[in-house]
Amino acid sequence: MNTAVERVHCLIIGSGPAGYTAAIYAARANLKPVMYTGLLQGGQLMNTTEVENYPGYPTGILGPEMMEDFKKQAERFGTDIRFGLATKVDFSTSPKKVWIDDTKLIEADAVILATGAEAKWLGIPSEKKLNGSGVSACAVCDGFFFKNAEVAIVGAGDTACEEAIYLSKLCSTVHMFIRRDEMRASKIMQDRVLNTPNIKVYWNTETDEILGDTVVEGVRIKNNKTGETQVIPITGFFVAIGHQPNSAVFKDYLDTDKEGYIITKPDSSKTNIEGVYACGDLQDKVYRQAVTAAGTGCMAALEAERWLSEKGIH
């Protein structure tokens, strides 16, 4: 089968806050960016309800509406936004090669990767049904909505501990479910959790079901040693069992850490391949906020513009 080939100056893969911000800066720099959105145009915020912590939206905004604003701004400056998924790359050549949906080959002078990361979920039906209606994978994003309420959190690593402590400052009680009889978190984080009076830790505990028809009303847990079940009334359920960066298609060419996050050079969005930049949650496992993703998207576009200029690639 013959593959259609197209040459572009700046290719952006991914369309969350990082990708759209990169597009805005790249388009204003006359890099004529072409963006392929991936399967979820707008990224993780498309699954988010109210966003109250992004500057410039004093009364808050729905995640999908915010991403539509980002999209319109990128288009206003001339970004060519297309629906499609990067399925294969070859970063060993110049220009870089990216195959879209296995049918179209894009040859790009500079490539900005903004494919993000996905939260890992427990995989129970009620979790999906109530996602955005009390179920969340980001305590920093959504904890504010549960002030003085009882909530639950699942996870045993440093992130889960950090989020439990964060929630404990807002919520009346935080029920923390640990699958084994020990945590994976560092000793200092464990101690902080265990010494926080309103965090109640349940060992050897798994989530059986999240209860509620349209919003979270409770959770049924099961002790995996005794088989005993228990129902706890809650209004918020947080999943903190990790994230999976969408980096698999790039891993043959780009350096990643053991979890798959793309490694960028310090204070930069540069990868180990010249002319390839990574931004947003694809390379950030610490902050994972829309505003920090947007910041790294800006960095990527500025660095791509500078590199193209230095190389005399027009």
Active site residues: 138, 141-142
CA dist 231 and 233 (Å) reads: 7
Cβ atoms of 156 and 184 closer than 8 Å: yes
Measured CA to CA in angstroms, residue 81 lies from 19, 41, 77, 99 at distances of: 11, 10, 11, 16
Q: In 3-state terms, what secondary structure has residue 180?
A: coil
Phi, psi dihedral angles at 197 (to 5 degrees) = -60, -35
CA dist 211 and 108 (Å) reads: 49
DSSP letters spanning 32-86: -EEEE--SSTTGGGGG--EE-SSTT-TT-EEHHHHHHHHHHHHHHTT-EEE---E
